[in-house]
Amino acid sequence: MGRSEPGKLQRQPPRYPSGAGKRHLCQELWPGGPATTSIRGGSAGQATVLWNGLPLQSPLLGELDLALLPLAFTELVEVQYGGNSSAWGSGAIGGVVGLGTRADFERKAALSLRSTLGSFGLFDQQAKAHYGQGRWRAATRLFHRWAANDFPYLAQSNLPERKQPNARLQQSGFLQEFYWRPAPGQQLAIHVWLQQSEREIPPTTVLNISRASQADRFARTALNWRVVRGNVVWQARAGLFRENLHYRDEQIRLSSFTQFWTAMGEIEGE
């Protein structure tokens, strides 16, 4: 995929990447397992992930666990590489992954349901509804995912095969979006994203038992206003995120709860 000019992700909807498989990598060992991205050899902390133009990086780690991003809530993806991503700060020297959705004002009302069954207890359900008329549109998305992740594996070649213990996953989420065109060349969008994840943390290869788990909950609200005047495009964005992380380990009687808020806003003209 060719390079983009700085700011292109902010001015245009993201696209599905093609022909770029050798430049970036995303690894997830099992459903719900830690997933990070590497762009052109950079670490996960050197890549920025945007949701409708707003960064999703955790202020605790400086990176994002992609296992918390449901595919059901993403329609558009674009990857931007290297120096062209410097518009998003020094934390994006590896690249930028842009995720988002968009309104189709020509689309009729539609409802879609999807259910998936897989190996090792995987059960995935998704629902999407698009509706509206005239100058406004709305979309509602829901998902629920459960997996036992009790797959067999060999810790060492001289040891018997065993099943992965303490690796269950349970996720559910809700995304509500409203789009309104008050006048020609203007569009206002509101996005509300609620999600909770419960993940057990399996033992390492040198341990037999683990009782650790992690709960992630967040509420994200984003506002986007776009105005086109001739050859000039003005955009204003604002976001307010609240995220909770609760780590527990019964074996060592540890319970650690962290909550943080993130507020951001920007105005740009091109």
Q: 189-215: per-residue pLDDT in tens?
A: 999 999 999 999 999 888 889 999 999
The C-alpha atoms of residue 235 and residue 264 are separated, in whole angstroms, by: 14
State pLDDT tens for residues 98-139.
Answer: 899 988 888 889 999 999 999 999 999 999 999 999 999 999
| Residue-range domain boundaries for the chain | 8-269
- Beta strands 47-51 and 54-55 are antiparallel
Residue 21, pLDDT score = 45
For 8, which DSSP code? H
124 in Cβ contact with 72 (< 8 Å): no
State pLDDT tens for residues 177-192.
Answer: 999 999 999 999 999 9
Q: What are residue 247's DSSP bridge partners?
A: 214, 256
Task: Select the more confidently predicted residue: 58 or 245.
Answer: 245
For 35, which DSSP code? E
Q: What are residue 261's DSSP bridge partners?
A: 242
What pTM did the predictor assign?
0.84
Q: What are residue 114's DSSP bridge partners?
A: 126
State pLDDT tens for residues 46-102.
Answer: 788 899 989 998 888 778 888 899 988 998 888 887 655 455 555 566 788 889 998
Burial of 18 (0-12, 13-18, 19+ CB in 10 A): exposed
Q: Across all residues in the chain, what is the average pLDDT?
A: 84
85 in Cβ contact with 97 (< 8 Å): no
For 11, which DSSP code? H
Contacts of 227 (CB under 8 A, 6+ apart): 185, 186, 233, 234, 235
The C-alpha atoms of residue 196 and residue 206 are separated, in whole angstroms, by: 30
Which CATH number is 8-269's, of 2.170.130.10, 3.40.50.170, 2.30.40.10, 2.60.40.420? 2.170.130.10
What confidence category does residue 2 fall into, taking pLDDT thresholds of 50, 70 and 90? very low
Picking from 1-5, 38-42, 232-236, 254-258, which range would have the lowest pLDDT averaged per residue? 1-5
92 in Cβ contact with 75 (< 8 Å): no
- For every residue of 30-41, DSSP letters joined together read STTS-EEEEETT
Residue 10, pLDDT score = 39
